[in-house]
Structure 1
Amino acid sequence: MMDKNAQIRLGVDIGGTFTDLVLVDEARGAVHIAKVLTTPDDPAEGTLAGFRKILESAGLEASDLASIVHATTLITNALIERKGARTGLITTEGFSDVIEIGREKRFDLYDLHQEMPEPLIAKAFRAEVPERVHVDGEVVLPLDAEAVKREAERLLKMGAESIAVSFLHAPVNPANERAAQAAIEEIAGDTPVSISSAVAPETGEYERTSTTAANAYVRPIADAYLTRLLANLRDSGFAGDLFIMLSNSGFAAVESVREHPVRIIESGPAGGALAAAQIARSLGEAHALGFDMGGTTAKICLIEDGEPATENRFEVARTSRFQKGSGLPILSPTVDLVEIGAGGGSIAQISDLGLIRVGPQSAGAAPGPACYAQGGAQPTVTDANLLLGYLNPDFFLGGAMWLEAEKAREAVSSLAGELDMSAHDAAWGIYEIITEQMASAARVHIAEKGGDPRNYALIATGGAAPLHACHMARKLYIRRVVCPPDVGVASAAGLLAARPRADAVRVLVSDVDAVDWTRVEALYREMAAQMTESLGEGIEVDSRWEFLCAADMRYRGQTDTVSVPLPGAGEMPVRDRANMQESFERAYERRYLRKIENVAAEVAAWRLTMLGPAPGGMDAAPLTDDSDFEKGARKIYFGPEAGFEEARVYHRYSLPAGREFSGPAIVEERESTIVVPEDARFRKDAGGHIIIEVNG
């Protein structure tokens, strides 16, 4: 059971290059942090290495921990790299090609060579069976269970390791899907079966089938990883609760995630968004741009009124950056963010046009950037930052890892030679291009939400973000940059600010004027019971939990919907037709900048979210020490026009709070380095945040 008075908690975030750990000892008001290289072949190995390291530094035993909240990129990587299980799909007769047909829509009308995402399940592994449910839920053709068994046996003989089932109109009446699941389980042994009415009970046959296929595709590897990780933790003496971060910024028990791993696709990025939201709330920033940059990717998220924006659907494994429709659609609540292949390990190359191109390929943790001296030879963003003078080779990870400047110089020089420019100018080109790519992504994301970058503060999290934050802010005309304490492991810290959470949705199409509230309330009781049961061991629902009701609404005759919050009484929505219509029109106008007069609204689906109590114990004092805050000066490069400038170097932990400093400057800490340009001023506040005022 989750101890309401738990004193020691651990957050673990596995990234593409580093695994970050943050341990909070609530009784002592202490925070301990660790950063180790990720082990791509077996992520659990790096996690356990960091686990042992942080316990040793804190002077604790594994048995002292009450709980661990864990985020991982395992599921995302499996989908992007197509390294999931061999999966079979069983559909209604005549509909097995829906995951290939999609919406029959080009995501770029004028690109004659556009590449559509390949289905996760090959045609040979798709099967059809006789059954049919009408749009109103009536069973028109009962399921042929024997046909299901025959097709399942055929798929298993072909080597299927997981099976997905998606029948027409199953969200309205899941009886045939449940019967199919029972029939398959009779003959399939331990082979996991995912049915669409349990994974994504929503309208949209293509999106629902895609989500179910993705869930089935990653389920065996998620189960194996979580089983191995939990067993290793138990062997080390950990007896507490292991929770997994969800894409929706909440967490759930391991048992729940085993069955629905599609819910943790954005597990890692959600931690960074939560950290940025917590910082925005503490500083009173109503509008903030969360910017999380690690070794492999950069994530950008809008924070409004202290909360990260969320969506109920997203895409993964896009074939074209920023192009909606070029990825695999996933129906699952998630933090609304933009993720691009831009990190410290992003590789710089010469494009076909003879220009520098950076990313999305990454050197990752192995072999890593050239300066890691682990066999990497291609120039990366980290190599460029080292050559520009931004990084101190003797103080990377607080001196725990030494960087070889000569290796970085050799790698960048190989690129510079092809372009007939100096190594420093090539390094600046890498830095400029990767920063512009991230600024462009932020610019598009903010514009799509109807915002103005000038109204936002930029909150930098992740080991690489403070190196680029000020330069990116200037490109966006953002005047204020915030680098929180322990910025390099902020995503892991964000995990410890997460709340237990569950989401459910039910389909019942109704005109606002003709809602059958008796049926709606029955659906909400069903959702509440389902979510309470699905939370798993270690999480109890009590009077402190919040229930948030919402409806997916549209104008009659439309297909796309907008999510509309509904006033609730406990887990039930309030019966208020006028308020629903008005709330929908406000939400519609906010998204589309217009509303349609004299057209009735209708509800397409009903949603319920359960949120547990917020954790405490995150108010530990920022890390300080008594050493001299001035570490001297060094030359850093600001491009061909400005050239080298002498920058003061400061030790973050001993900087006096409240005193203002001027750029150019470098602020060093164990897990990151902050670059402050010449025309900026900065200070450390009482909470340990470095706040930088940038001239646009």
Structure 2
Amino acid sequence: MDKTDEVALMFLGVDVGGTFTDAVVVDNKRILKQVKVKTNSENVLQGILTALDRILENCELDLLERVVVSSTVVTNALIVGDTEEVFLAVMPGTGMDITNSFPVAPFIVEGYVNHHGKVTKNVELNYLAAQAQAKGKRVAAISGKFSVRNQSNEVALRQELSELDFEQFFLGSEMSGELNFVRRTNSAYFSAAIYQKYAHFIHQIVTSIRSRGINVPIHILKADGGTMPIEVALQHPVEAIFTGPAASVLGIEALSLPEGQAISLDVGGTTTDIAFWENGRPLLANKGARINGFPTTVRAYHMRSVPIGGDSLLQRQGDAYLVGPKRVDVAAALGGNKATLGDALIVLSVVSFGDIEKAKNALIKLCYDGEDHLVVAMRFVEVAVSVLEQTIKEMIQEWEVKPVYTVNDMISGTSFRPEILVGVGGGATGLVQRLALKMNLPVSVPPGAMVANAVGAALARPTLIGTLRADSQEGYYIIPEGGIREDLSCQATRSELEDILRSWLLSEAQRWHLPVAGVEVIACEEFTTIQNYYSIGKIVYLKMQLAPGIIYGVQGQEVSF
């Protein structure tokens, strides 16, 4: 698909936030239509349906190319523990302490694959013990050390456990082709834990969209800013975590690409998502995202979600001014009975919505004798700004102390010195501008900032990741994500291996009807194997992906909701 064809397409994006559900239709590099409806936390789907009905009114459905949904369903389920019990079976081999490495105590199975990918011990399952521990559980996760170099033990264990009537299995080797047993295991576990809830949500989404006469492909946004077909999403549910922050990053990229070292802040009703940028690219988290404190293989941006937003409850305890983490469903300016951070911004005339008198009266209730409500409102805003500034300092420190892996890292360093703040979301004009003043930085709030997340979802490129490990001495290569193991010539070069992996990615893209902007190498390691002082072969590890990002930039527009 060439660039001209891309620009002619119409894209629909839906972003489900904690406070609002946004939808946009993007066509010919402009936001054609946008809607914002209140999210019903008790019935998230209803908000999506309302947004769809409003956005599709008078819309030419035959021009629609794709629908992308960004949802908090996975994130919220994992945070509050609304998940399925999982039978977690692991094969860690010998000499590895896995105490407290996983969210639940695993069922240990005998079986081992060594670092060369050779099975040194076949699977030995205590079936009765497994049956007892699996009682009442509908999903299972299986993971073995070095399984990305040989999946046979994981596959064999799945076959043996299939007699226990699990509805779904997730294998660690299919979560990622990377060497990190603990991260792969946690990814398999979390995918299993949310599978039932996610599958139900996906079914509702598909049914609802199809019932409205939309028959185009439906994609789900991923944490790394790419999209995946909804059918693939069910194979990797954990990839749908942190899609809200990812959507805001992509929205900023589409509306106003930051230059140099920049910090973006998406000020929503419930949280503020903070991301780092360098030379127009959002920075990725080192190694992978953590979920409830456990490391995973999920590629995600270097971000932090702070529980401060426009709907954050304002309270006073003695001399203390408290902003959040509790939120209020309706701000005082919109008819609520408690003051929110949004109300404070309204009375300070830095944002404009609702009834300023109602906001003022709510702030007056928080004033002690003789206090000016404007001074009190400013103090609350200053508290919120201080929390955001402190979080940014912590993120900078975290980034600068990350491990150094390459010579380039040592030469260029990992310092981060922000040059500009970029704000999106409903409270961006007030909160981010105040933060910029405190940090002595310029600020940009692009047109269309109110629906940046939905814009990001609409314009996100599909992406797939593949890994390849080759051992020329043993004469084979594997692509774990595809369950592929093939013979390999001992003379194979790295370039030839890249071609093999690229061809697999392109064939997968064709299978799922995905447009391809390019294939990029994101990791490569090459080692020479030595025996009796002579080189006898090479071990090569490759990781490549369909390049993520946005399809094109757009011209935003300011709309009052």
The two structures have a TM-score, normalised by structure 2, of 0.82
Q: Distance in 1 between matches of 2:503 and 2:246?
A: 26
- Contact 2:284-2:301 within 8 A present in 1 as well: yes
* Equivalent in the alignment of 1:83: 82
Give the alignment partner of residue 522 of structure 2, picking from 517, 542, 550: 550
Report the equivalent of 2:346.
386
Offset of residue 308 of structure 1: 1.3
Q: Is the 8 A contact 1:350 1:356 kept in 2?
A: yes
**Change beyond 3 A, Cα 1:536–1:461:** farther
Pairwise mapping of residues 83-482 of structure 1 onto structure 2 (< 5 A)? Answer: 83-92=82-91, 100-102=99-101, 120-121=103-104, 123=105, 126-144=106-124, 147=126, 150=128, 153-157=131-135, 159-188=136-165, 191-281=167-257, 285-311=259-285, 313-316=287-290, 327-350=293-316, 355-363=320-328, 367-373=329-335, 377-392=337-352, 396=353, 402-403=354-355, 405-406=357-358, 408-409=359-360, 411-417=362-368, 421-447=371-397, 448-449=399-400, 450-451=414-415, 453=417, 456-478=419-441, 480-482=442-444
Match of 1:633 in 2: none
1:311–1:335: 8 Å Cα contact kept in structure 2?
A: yes
Partner of 2:459, secondary structure, is coil
The alpha-carbon deviation at position 335 of structure 1 amounts to 2.0
- Tell me the secondary structure at the aligned position of residue 85 of structure 1: coil
**Shift in CA distance, 183/265, structure 1 to aligned 2, threshold 3 Å:** same
Q: Deviations over 1:465-507 (max 9, x none)?
A: 12112211122221x2211111100121122332111123356
Three-state SS of the structure 2 residue aligned to 1:295 is coil
Distance 1:141 1:611, change over 3 A: same
For 2:326, the aligned partner's letter is Q
State the partner residue of 2:68: 69
CA contact (8 A) 1:350 1:415 kept: yes
- For structure 1, the residue ranges without an aligned partner over 5 or more in a row are 103-118, 319-326, 397-401, 511-515, 554-574, 578-601, 624-652, 654-668, 672-696
TM-score normalised over the length of structure 1: 0.67
Matches within 5 A, 1:13-52: 13-26=15-28, 31-52=32-53
Quote the offset at 1:131 in angstroms: 1.3
CA distance in 2, matches of 1:182, 1:389: 65
Distance 2:451 2:495 in 1: 43
Decide which of 607, 612, 634 is 2:543's aligned counterpart: 607
Gaps of 5+ in 2: 401-413, 473-489, 529-537
- For residues 67-117 of structure 1, the C-alpha deviation after alignment (integer angstroms, 9 at most, x for no partner) is 111111221111111112222211127899966523xxxxxxxxxxxxxxx
Instruction: Kindly tell me the number of residue pairs found equivalent between the two proteins.
Output: 520
Q: Partner of 1:313: helix, strand, or coil? A: coil
Q: Is this contact kept in 2: 1:253–1:539, CA < 8 A?
A: no
Structure 2 match to 1:492: 454
Deviation at 1:403, TM superposition (A): 4.9
Change (3 A) 1:275 1:10: same
Q: Does the residue aligned with 2:192 lie in a helix, a strand or coil?
A: helix
CA distance in 2, matches of 1:315, 1:613: 19
State the Cα deviation string for residues 502-529 of structure 1 (Å, max 9, x = none). Answer: 123356799xxxxx88386686566446
1:162 to 1:526, Cα distance in 2 relative to 1, 3 A:
farther
Amino acid aligned to 1:297: T
Q: 2: CA distance between counterparts of 1:429 and 1:95?
A: 57
Secondary structure of the 1:331 match is coil
1:447-468 per-position Cα deviation (integer Å, ceiling 9, x unaligned) = 5344454x51222111111211
1:593-638 alpha-carbon deviations (Å, 9 max, x no partner): xxxxxxxxx999531112279635x545x54xxxxxxxxxxxxxxx
Q: Distance between the aligned counterparts of 1:275 and 1:223, measured in 2? A: 27
Higher relative contact order (CA 8 A, sep 6+): 2
Cα shift at 1:304: 1.9
Does structure 2 retain, via aligned residues, the 8 Å contact 1:256–1:536?
no
SS of 1:90's equivalent in the other structure is strand
Q: For the Cα contact (< 8 Å) 2:348–2:378, is it kept in 1?
A: yes
Deviations 1:239-280 (A, max 9, x none): 111111111111111111111021121212112112223444
